[in-house]
Homo-oligomer: A and B are copies of this chain.
Amino acid sequence: MNIYDIAELAGVSIATVSRVVNDSPMVSEKTKQRVRKVMEENDYTPNVFARGLGLNSMKTVGLMCPDIADAYMARAVAYLEQNLKEHGYNCILYCSGYDIEERHVAVHSILQKRIDALVLIGSSYAEDDENSEKVEYIREAAKQVPVFMMNGCIQGENIYCALCNDFQAAYMAVTELLQSGREEVLFLSDSHSYSATQKLRGYKQALKDAGLSVKDSMCVYVENKIDKARDLLLSRNDLMFDAVFATEDGLAVGALKYAKKRNLSVPRDISIIGYNNSELSVCCDPELSTVDSRGDRLCKIIIDSMMLRLKNREIRSKVYANGFLIRRETTDF
């Protein structure tokens, strides 16, 4: 007898059963009585919901991201929190920063909070190499609770990854730039994370497949701030490019500001593609062509997987979603 059976017998949704168990005021007294009666008759105890000892579950999920002020992460946290709540789970938030030692401390701390599962948001947790020893602390964490990674990938027991296929998305975007006649595409990034590494691979492969050589000097790194990206490009007179593929929308907007300062017309003189389809991409002028990196989709995959995993069902350790290019005004194809 599990929650599905109870829901069916009581003629309500699983979410409603969950709410009754949590004595949520969102459920009417009448419904509560009906659901509780079914539970009693079938000797169903809510303890079964929880991981391990039952008694010990606080129905809490740990959400960890480097920086909640980042729009991509904020949106992910918003989606996860909203939907986990509907499954009866509250969220502990921990912002770890990007520093590796801080992240160690963060994971250690959040595990002391009796969480049922841990979500690591953003690819920086996977480092630049999924097999790196630097991620051993995450494998250790996964011995205590299931770990779900959003857009990062680490192989290991009890670690489940939902990923945007950044290699494919970057490959497509850069290929389109080249096919539209651009010859010198700048790769502009803020990170060497797992995701950024996949994007770089896609960029390089697209150049190779177009018969062009890859120049390391055309891969430029700068903090993800509009003014920082603009100023860096303004200072680099040695760089010659007629297109920018940026791994974040903020960087792409920086490139747009650079173009304006240089009196370059976009997309006539220079094409620009951003990443993440954030609010920034429709705020700037001209509006930014950008890759939709499927953040909401990844969150949904994580929640669905988590709910199965917490019922001890088998789930896949790695699921991909495909990103796609949204064409706006900074490209001419």
Contact = CB atoms under 8 A, between A and B. Distances in A.
A114 B23 contact: yes
Interface string A29-68: 0000000100110000110000001011010100100011
A311 interface: no
A264 interface: no
Interface string A252-284: 010011001000000000000000000110111
Contact of A283 (B56, B85, B253): B253
Contact of A279 (B58, B108, B226): B226
Contacts of A56: 23, 36
Contact of A113 (B90, B279, B282): B90
Nearest to A68: B78
Contacts of A74: 68-69, 71, 74
A-B residue pairs, 5 tightest by C-beta: A74-B74, A69-B78, A93-B93, A285-B285, A68-B78
Given A282-B226, A283-B283, A24 B92 contact: no
A255 to B, nearest CB: 12
A94 B105 contact: no
Copies in the complex: 2
Nearest to A288: B283
A13 interface: no
Interface string A146-184: 000000000000000000000000000000000000000
A213 interface: no
A39 B68 CA distance: 36
Nearest to A114: B23
A164 to B, nearest CB: 18
A46 B91 CA distance: 18
A55 B63 contact: no
A46 B55 contact: yes
A14 B36 CA distance: 28
A132 to B, nearest CB: 20
A94 B68 contact: no
Contacts of A53: 36
Contact of A91 (B45, B58, B92, B282): B92
A75 interface: yes
Nearest to A57: B46
A322 interface: no
A131 interface: no
12 contacts: A68-B74, A68-B78, A81-B94, A85-B95, A91-B92, A91-B93, A92-B92, A226-B283, A257-B285, A260-B285, A284-B284, A284-B285
A101 to B, nearest CB: 8
Given A78-B95, A85-B94, A257-B285, 19 more contacts: A25-B104, A25-B105, A26-B101, A36-B56, A40-B55, A45-B55, A46-B55, A67-B78, A68-B74, A68-B78, A68-B81, A69-B74, A69-B75, A85-B95, A90-B110, A91-B92, A93-B93, A226-B279, A250-B279
